């Protein structure tokens, strides 16, 4: 998936980020490019400007996209009860191939234990 570039929010483990890098994903953590205490709006702006897909456990990004009527950036919401880095990494790797095109176009994706559902952007309220 070399065309997509990802920005992992601070609530995504560095172990997950490193494992995804080893799998060939282009991924950085927020702390590598912004202050680790950056507001969600700053992270969203960075991702939009730099064409990154945000990976997060935080549902606030979806709300901000909906309120702003934005078509980008895409967001992957991790909605797993098991937050162990190995399991999070496994579910992301399993789900990404099926949602790659949606992420390229602009979507909010929710990944849980058994599925990956998406909503195209912009989200109409």
By CB neighbour count within 10 A (0-12 exposed, 13-18 middle, 19+ buried), where does 36 fall? exposed
Distance CA 50, CA 35 (A): 16
Residue 2: pLDDT above 70?
A: no
| Mean pLDDT (whole number) for 24-51 | 97
| Mean pLDDT (whole number) for 2-18 | 94
The pLDDT, as a whole number, for residue 1 is 44
56-110: pLDDT as tens digits? 999 999 999 999 999 999 999 999 999 999 999 999 999 999 999 999 999 999 9
5-120: what CATH class? Answer: alpha beta
Residue 124: pLDDT above 90?
A: no
DSSP string, 20-57: HHHTT-EEEEHHHHS-TT--HHHHHHHHHHTT-EEEES
């Amino acid at each position: 998936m070399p065309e997509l570039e990802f920005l992992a929010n601070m609530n995504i483990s560095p172990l997950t980020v490193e494992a995804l890098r080893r799998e060939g994903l282009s991924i950085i953590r927020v702390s590598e490019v912004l202050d680790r205490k950056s507001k969600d709006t700053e992270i969203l702006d960075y991702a939009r400007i730099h064409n990154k897909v945000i990976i997060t456990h935080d549902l606030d990004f979806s709300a901000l996209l909906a309120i702003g009527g934005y078509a980008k950036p895409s967001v992957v919401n991790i909605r797993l009860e098991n937050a162990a880095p190995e399991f999070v990494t496994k579910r992301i790797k399993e789900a990404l191939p099926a949602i790659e095109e949606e992420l390229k176009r602009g979507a909010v994706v929710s990944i849980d234990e058994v599925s990956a559902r998406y909503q195209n952007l912009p989200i109409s309220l």
